[in-house]
Structures are given as structure tokens and as C-alpha cells.
């Protein structure tokens, strides 16, 4: 534990509120200058007073004060003993998979993030690690795909873009019975709405690029755990592989994280209103949002999550052309990939985020050509609904007017 960790743990005890931790964990005033916000530490190397004697840092790949502060903060929010930051969510995935011995087997939920799918199928395989993709809506389905060499079960919940849920507690029990670790990618809900470690997950990973930073201006990732051995392995790999974030990105992501609770509340309030508006619209075929009683796993959402998040997916009444027209007519929503920023975004998974998934797999996952994914931002609710309303009307009534 570094000097900063000790100071910040002292600073937050005995306060445990989410917002209090978001603002104070890993954020002790500078003991030398009194600066309330710790300085950006760009130095790559640190003075040693004698050989091997230093103040907790020797080389910035191995450890950096801004990174340590961020790691302390995100660990506090995920109720984790340890946090480790990486240069992206994808680098986090790669580092976690590097823990596995050659010849290991992974079971992954089938509609996993596209980049994770690509890593499992095109990169991990070159290191002798194979992955089976399974629909884990029924946790018992996990039993039939476990192999003797299954070391890791990889879950996202809600999934992307069809927002299916996985029962973390049930999957953790089955994985542990088998001696496998459970990793949960908690990017979509953020620690504000779900803490997988408290439900039995061994490792939580985040693309901090999304809600954690929340302002669409940093690419970063994190892994959280309560297990000493897992932490030691990941810490060793973080330093050995070296996919570490820059100090400035840690500084920015830490600044973003301080308002996570406020942002998530507004994301959810807007998403719920948008989902209800879409469900009532005659221009919409169906809406998927875990906060709607029509969601097939609404009960699980209520039990497992503390909220429903900011992502809403819907099928517009029409085809690819109608969807494309809608995406061109929106004014406040921006047609773009990614999610989790303060600004609202929309996209067409079939051609954009999930364009590399085969047409057969897309069909199996329900990623139809009229399926639109919204990352609902924190703008004023009525403006967002007004924007959707005008774009839907134009797109469905006269989809062919677009040049
Ligand atoms: C974006 C994303 C990732 C990958 O993170 P990067 O920071 O883009 O590398 C992983 N999982 C989920 C659920 C994501 O949305």
C-alpha cells in the first residue's frame, strides 16, 4: 500500500456513502502544499534516497500517484479491496486473460462486447485459450458448457445491445463449484447501480471510457478484486505487459468519477422517461429497457441492480432505411458509437458496433436492421423526448426524403 492509499483511507473512514466516497476516496489534500486536488505527476522516475529506498514510487509504469489515486477511488465505489487501472477496457480484458495458463477454456456470455468477442476469438486463441459463447439467461445453461479446463466465466449484464441480464449470484455459484473464476464487465451499469463483487464475482472490469469518466474524452479501463492472489497476479501483469494509462487520463477519469452518482441518477431518470415514451409510440415496434415491467427479466433487474441504467434499445417500425432516416433526423442525439457520456448518442448496432458479428449470429441475438441503441445522456428530459418525437415522425412517415 502506498502513502497515498493510507492517507485517503484515513480521510474517508468512517464515511461510506457512495457520493462521499466518489469525491473523497483517493483524494487527500497534498501533504506538502495543501493543494485540495492532487497535482498531475508527469515524472517517469522517482528519486531514491538510498538504493531501493523511495516513497512508494520508482518508475511510472510500475506506479504513478495519479493512477494510485484513481485506483483507490474506483475500488471504493466497487466495494473492492484492490483496483488496477489500464490504458483501455480492452487492455484490461487482455491483461485478465493473460492470467490463464496455456490450454485454458473460457465460457463467455454470447452477446458480449464486440471487442471482447474479437479478443477471445482472434487473439486469445493464439495463446492457446479457447472460448465457448453461451446464452446464460438461464444460469443452469452454464453447466452444460463447462469443461475440465474451464478457468474463467465472463459475463456482461446487461448485455449490449439487447440488454439481457445474467443472474450474477447463480452463475458465480456454478462457476465456483467448478473451480472457475467469474469476471463481470460492469461497464453498462457502473458501480452506482450494481456491485458484482458483492454478488460473488471474483473480478469486475470496466471500460472507464464510458460512465466512469463520463465525458467522452478519455479511453481507460480498470479491474477490481477482493482477492489477494488475483490482485498480485494482475498487478504483476499490469507492470509486465505495461498497458497502463497516462497520468493525465487518470486525473481526468478521477475528476469524472466524482460526479458518477449525480450523472447516473439523471441518466436513469431520462432513460426511464425515454423508454416509457417509446413504448407508447405507434412508430415503435418494441422497447428493451430493464426498468420496464415488459422486460423479460424485470424481476432479476429489481433484485440484482439498484437501478436500470442509461441505455435504451428499441425497434423502429420499419426497416434499415427507416432506422437510417431516424438516425439522420435526430438533432440532440448524436449518431456515434460508444456510450456513457453526458451527451445523448444513438447508433445502429447491425451496421456499426456489431457490424463484425455474422448475419446469422446477429439474427440469433435479435440484432435486427431496425434495432436502434440509445445512450441516453443527462440533458433535459423533455428536450430529449421532443427530439426523438420529431425524428420518429419524420423517419416513419416519410423515410425516403433523406438524400
Ligand atoms: C467499450 C467497452 C469495452 C472496451 O473498452 P475500451 O475502453 O473501448 O477498450 C468493454 N466492455 C464494454 C461493455 C464496453 O462498452
**What are the structural domains of the chain?**
3-257 (3.40.640.10), 261-397 (3.90.1150.10)
Beta bridge partners of 375: 311, 345
Q: DSSP letter for 384, please.
A: H
The residue whose grid cell reads 434495432 is 371
Distance CA 130, CA 140 (A): 21
The residue whose grid cell reads 516513497 is 55
| Contact assessment for residue 346 and residue 401, using Cβ atoms and an 8 Å cutoff | no
Which residue minimizes the CA distance to atom 5 of ligand 1? 89
Task: Identify which of 265, 260, 278 has the alpha carbon closest to the alpha carbon of residue 333.
Answer: 278
Give the pLDDT score at 7: 45
- Which atom of ligand 1 is nearest to 92's Cα? 9
Q: Which residues are marked as active site?
A: 61, 113, 185, 210
Q: Where are the beta strands (DSSP E) in 157-226?
A: 181-185, 203-207, 221-225
Q: Using alpha carbons only, what angle is made at residue 402 by residues 399 and 403, rounded to the nearest 5 degrees?
A: 145
- Which atom of ligand 1 is nearest to 90's Cα? 9
Given a cut of 50, the residues of the chain with pLDDT beneath it are 1-7, 403
Give the pLDDT score at 273: 98
Give the pLDDT score at 363: 92
Pick from 93, 115, 222 the residue to mutate for probing ligand 1's pocket: most ligand atoms within 8 Å of its CB: 115
Pick from 111, 166, 207 the residue to mutate for probing ligand 1's pocket: most ligand atoms within 8 Å of its CB: 207
Distance CA 225, CA 356 (A): 31
- Which atom of ligand 1 is nearest to 339's Cα? 15
The Å distance, Cα 113 to ligand 1 centre, comes to 7
Give the pLDDT score at 192: 98
* Coil, helix or strand at residue 303: helix
User: What residue ranges line ligand 1, CB within 6 angstroms?
Assistant: 88-90, 113, 115-116, 156, 160, 185, 187-188, 207, 209-210, 219, 221
Task: Identify which of 113, 52, 108 has the alpha carbon closest to the alpha carbon of residue 339.
Answer: 113
The tens digit of pLDDT for each residue in 22-62 reads: 999 999 999 899 999 999 999 999 999 999 999 999 999 99
Total-model pTM: 0.95
Give the pLDDT score at 142: 98
Phi first, then psi, for residue 226 (nearest 5°) are -105, -5
Distance CA 254, CA 136 (A): 33
Amino acid at each position: 500500500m502506498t502513502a497515498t492509499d493510507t492517507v485517503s483511507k484515513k480521510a474517508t473512514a468512517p464515511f461510506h456513502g457512495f457520493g462521499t466516497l466518489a469525491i473523497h476516496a483517493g483524494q487527500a489534500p497534498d501533504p506538502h502544499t495543501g493543494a485540495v486536488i492532487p497535482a498531475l505527476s508527469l515524472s517517469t522516475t522517482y528519486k531514491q534516497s538510498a538504493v531501493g529506498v523511495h516513497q512508494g514510487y520508482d518508475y511510472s509504469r510500475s506506479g504513478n500517484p495519479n493512477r494510485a489515486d484513481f485506483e483507490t477511488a474506483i475500488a471504493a465505489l466497487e466495494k473492492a479491496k484492490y483496483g488496477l487501472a489500464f490504458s483501455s477496457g480492452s487492455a484490461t480484458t487482455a491483461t485478465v486473460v493473460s492470467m490463464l495458463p496455456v490450454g485454458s477454456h473460457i465460457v463467455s456470455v454470447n452477446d458480449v462486447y464486440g471487442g471482447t468477442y474479437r479478443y477471445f476469438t482472434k487473439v486469445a486463441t493464439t495463446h492457446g485459450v479457447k472460448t465457448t459463447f453461451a446464452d446464460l439467461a438461464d444460469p443452469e445453461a452454464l453447466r452444460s458448457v463447462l469443461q475440465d479446463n474451464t478457468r474463467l466465466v465472463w459475463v456482461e449484464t446487461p448485455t449490449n445491445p439487447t440488454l439481457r441480464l445474467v443472474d450474477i449470484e447463480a452463475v458465480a455459484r456454478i462457476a465456483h463449484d467448478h473451480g472457475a473464476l467469474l469476471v463481470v464487465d460492469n461497464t453498462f451499469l457502473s458501480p452506482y447501480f450494481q456491485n458484482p463483487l458483492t454478488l460473488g464475482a471474483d473480478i469486475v472490469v470496466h471500460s472507464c471510457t464510458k460512465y466512469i469518466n463520463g465525458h467522452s474524452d478519455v479511453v481507460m479501463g480498470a479491474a477490481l478484486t477482493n482477492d489477494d492472489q488475483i490482485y498480485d497476479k494482475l498487478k504483476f501483469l499490469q507492470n509486465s505487459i505495461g498497458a497502463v494509462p497516462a497520468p493525465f487520463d487518470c486525473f481526468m477519469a478521477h475528476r469524472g468519477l466524482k460526479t458518477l452518482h449525480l450523472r447516473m441518477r439523471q441518466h436513469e431518470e431520462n432513460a426511464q422517461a425515454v423508454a416509457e415514451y417509446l413504448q407508447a409510440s405507434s412508430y415503435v415496434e418494441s422497447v428493451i429497457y430493464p426498468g420496464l415491467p415488459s422486460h423479460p427479466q424485470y424481476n432479476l433487474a429489481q433484485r440484482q441492480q439498484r437501478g436500470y441504467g442509461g441505455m435504451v434499445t428499441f425497434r423502429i417500425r420499419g426497416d434499415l432505411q427507416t432506422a437510417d432516416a431516424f438516425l439522420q433526423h435526430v438533432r440532440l442525439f448524436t449518431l456515434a458509437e460508444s456510450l456513457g457520456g453526458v451527451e445523448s448518442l444513438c447508433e445502429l448496432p447491425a451496421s456499426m458496433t456489431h457490424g463484425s458479428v455474422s448475419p446469422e449470429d446477429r439474427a440469433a441475438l435479435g440484432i435486427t436492421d431496425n434495432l436502434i441503441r440509445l445512450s441516453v445522456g443527462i440533458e433535459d428530459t423533455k428536450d430529449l423526448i421532443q427530439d426523438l418525437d420529431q425524428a420518429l415522425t419524420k423517419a416513419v412517415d416519410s423515410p425516403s426524403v433523406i438524400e
